[in-house]
A and B are shown apart, each in its own frame.
Chain A
Amino acid sequence: MSSEAVHTTGSTSMAHYGDYEPIIGIEIHAQLSTKSKMFCTASTDFGAGDNENICEVDTAMPGALPVVNKRAVEFSVKMGLALGCEIRKRSVFSRKQYFYPDLPKGYQISQFDLPLCEHGEVDFYLDGEKRKISITRAHMEEDAGKSTHHGEYSLINLNRAGTPLLEIVSGPDIRGPAEAAEYARTVHKILRYLDVCDGNLEEGSFRCDCNVSVRKKGETTLRTRVEIKNINSFRFVEKAVEYEILRQIDCYETGEKIVQETRLYDPDKNRTFAMRSKEEAHDYRYFPDPDLLPIEIDDSFINAIRSTLPELPLKRAERFEQSYKIPTYDSLVLTQEKALADYYEDVVKAAGGNAKAASNWVMTDLMRELNESKKTVETSPISSTNLGKMIALIDKGTISGKIAKTVFSEMWSSGKEPETIVKEKGLVQITDTSAIEKAIDDVIAASPNETAAYRAGKDKLFGFFVGQVMKATKGQASPDIVNQLLKKKLAGS
Chain B
Amino acid sequence: MSQISDLSQATCTEIRDAVRAKKVSALEVTKHFSARIKALDPKINAFVTLNEKAELAASNVDGKIARGEDPGALAGVPMAVKDLLCTKGLKTTASSKMLANFIPPYSATVVNRLEAAGAVTLGKTSLDEFAMGSSNENAATGPVKNPWDPEYVPGGSSGGSAAALAARMAPGAIGTDTGGSIRQPASFCGLFGIKPTYGRVSRYGIIAFASSLDQAGPMAHSTKDCALLLETISGSCAYDSTSATIEVPKWSEIIKDDVKGLRVGLPKEYFAEKMDGDVERVTKEAIAALKDRGAIIVDITLPLVKHAVPVYYLVATSEAASNLARYDGMRYGHRTSNITTGSLEEVYTRSRGEGFGAEVKRRIMLGTYALSSGYYDAYYQKASQVRRLIRNEFLSAFESCDVILSPVCTSPAFKIGERINDPLEMYLNDIFTTSTNLAGLPGMSVPAGYSAKGLPIGVQLMTRHFDETRMFNVSLALENALGAVKARRPHVI
Contact = CB atoms under 8 A, between A and B. Distances in A.
B373 A285 contact: yes
B267 interface: no
A67 B92 contact: no
Contacts of A107: 322, 325
Interface in A257-312: 283, 285-287, 290-293
Interface stretch (B3-11, B17-25, B238-246): B238-246
A61 B330 contact: no
Interface in B366-398: 368, 371-373, 376, 380
B372 A99 contact: no
B414 interface: no
Nearest to B324: A106
Contacts of B204: 63-65
B73 to A, nearest CB: 24
A65 B212 CA distance: 12
A65 B241 contact: yes
Nearest to A282: B373
B368 A285 contact: yes
Contacts of A59: 331-332
A156 B344 CA distance: 14
B348 interface: yes
B108 interface: yes
Contacts, number: 93
A291 B242 contact: yes
A95 interface: yes
B246 to A, nearest CB: 14
Contact of B104 (A62, A66, A101): A62
B492 to A, nearest CB: 32
Contacts of A292: 241-242
B319 interface: yes
Contact of B211 (A104, A106, A286, A290): A290
Given A61-B86, A62-B86, A97-B322, A67 B240 contact: yes
Nearest to A63: B205
A95 B367 CA distance: 14
Interface string A139-162: 000000000000000001000000
Interface string B14-52: 000000000000000000000000000000000000000
Interface in B306-321: 318-319
A101 B239 contact: no
A104 B210 CA distance: 18
B427 interface: no
Given A104-B330, A290-B319, A65 B373 contact: no
B101 to A, nearest CB: 13
Interface in B185-235: 203-208, 210-212
Contact of A283 (B319, B325, B330, B372): B372
A453 interface: no
A285 B86 contact: no
B106 interface: yes
A56 interface: yes
Contacts of B280: none
A286 B86 CA distance: 28
A66 B241 CA distance: 8
Nearest to A105: B326
B439 interface: no
B69 to A, nearest CB: 30
B120 interface: no
B108 A63 contact: yes
Pick from B205, B238, B372, B380 the residue with the most CB of A within 10 Å: B205
B105 interface: yes
19 contacts: A60-B326, A61-B104, A62-B86, A63-B207, A64-B106, A64-B205, A67-B240, A67-B241, A68-B241, A97-B325, A97-B371, A101-B328, A106-B322, A285-B322, A285-B368, A287-B371, A290-B319, A293-B241, A293-B242
Interface of B: 85-86, 92, 94, 99, 102, 104-106, 108, 203-208, 210-212, 238-242, 318-319, 322, 325-326, 328, 330-332, 344, 348, 368, 371-373, 376, 380
Interface of A: 56, 59-68, 95, 97, 99, 101, 104-107, 156, 283, 285-287, 290-293
For the complex of A and B, the 3 pairs showing the least CB-CB separation, nearest first, are A106-B325, A290-B211, A290-B212
